[in-house]
């Protein structure tokens, strides 16, 4: 299933990624950020319903100067503290800043968000290839696309959808910038169940993969590198 998911990502297709039974128990629609189109944004807001975010590799975030939102808001009384997240007591959330590309108008239409997301992927690729930092010249904040900063060490440190999606992109040999959107249930208002997410994937001919499969392959790759 890992290879099916990697192949789908390489082809610019949406993949359904479920985290873990003992974590959020949520499925995200994910797609490589450099391939996302306005139609993909439409699919995510219509069939996903959660926040449409762009996860980026920690090294790229560091080179681009992207902070954690919790660090930016330390002076605000309601800021998140370590241990506040019920599904991940050891880590803070991965939220960074929200941006619009400077070429967009309001930033919220599907076309605007796709433009912003594609440009984020471009900046990630440039930064990891040793290019200059042009982030502020390309984007303005606040905006309508949330950036998620993956944890240093990825799945060795944190096992959220952010780290899972970036690890999967790395395994597929892609630029590590991935769009993620939680799938919600229209009837209950809760997260879509794993079973319903699997049924959606089957109906639409999409790959469904679980976090445990991504983690297992990640650990196998690490073991091979360290052998």
Contacts of 3 (CB under 8 A, 6+ apart): none
Distance CA 83, CA 85 (A): 6
53 is catalytic: yes
Q: In what order do the strands lie in the sheet with 139-149?
A: 95-101, 139-149, 49-56, 177-183, 27-32, 15-18, 207-210
Which of 19, 24, 26, 28 is labelled catalytic?
28
Beta strands in 33-183, from DSSP E residues, in sequence order:
49-56, 95-101, 139-149, 177-183
28 is catalytic: yes
Which of 100, 110, 118, 210 is labelled catalytic?
100
Residue of 175, 98, 101, 178 lying closest to 134 (CA atoms): 101
Which of 19, 163, 182, 210 is labelled catalytic?
182
Which of 21, 84, 87, 220 is labelled catalytic?
87
100 is catalytic: yes
182 is catalytic: yes
Q: In sequence order, what are the beta bridge partners of 30?
A: 15, 180
Which of 88, 144, 156, 213 is labelled catalytic?
144
State how far the alpha carbon of 83 is from the alpha carbons of 8, 10, 86, 215, in Å.
Answer: 35, 36, 7, 23
Which of 53, 57, 110, 181 is labelled catalytic?
53
Catalytic positions: 28, 53, 87, 100, 144, 182
């Amino acid at each position: 299933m890992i290879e099916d998911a990697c192949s789908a990502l390489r082809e610019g297709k949406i993949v359904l990624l479920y985290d873990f039974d003992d974590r959020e128990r949520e499925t995200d629609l994910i797609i490589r950020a450099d391939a996302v189109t306005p139609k993909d944004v439409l699919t995510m807001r219509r069939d996903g319903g959660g926040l449409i975010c762009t996860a980026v590799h920690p090294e790229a975030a560091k080179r681009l100067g992207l902070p954690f939102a919790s660090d930016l808001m330390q002076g605000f009384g309601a800021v998140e503290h370590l241990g506040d997240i019920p599904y991940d007591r050891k880590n803070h959330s991965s939220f960074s800043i929200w941006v619009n590309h400077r070429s967009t108008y309001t930033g919220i239409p599907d076309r605007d968000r796709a433009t912003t997301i594609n440009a984020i992927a471009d900046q990630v690729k440039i930064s990891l290839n040793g290019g200059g930092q042009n982030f502020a010249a390309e984007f303005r904040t606040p905006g309508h696309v949330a950036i998620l900063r993956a944890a240093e060490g990825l799945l060795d440190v944190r096992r959220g959808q952010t780290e899972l999606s970036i690890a999967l992109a790395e395994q597929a040999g892609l630029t590590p910038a991935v769009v993620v959107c939680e799938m919600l249930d229209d009837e209950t208002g809760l997260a879509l169940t794993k079973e319903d997410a699997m049924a959606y994937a089957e109906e639409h001919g999409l790959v469904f993969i679980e976090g445990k499969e991504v983690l297992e392959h990640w650990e196998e790759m690490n073991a091979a590198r360290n052998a």
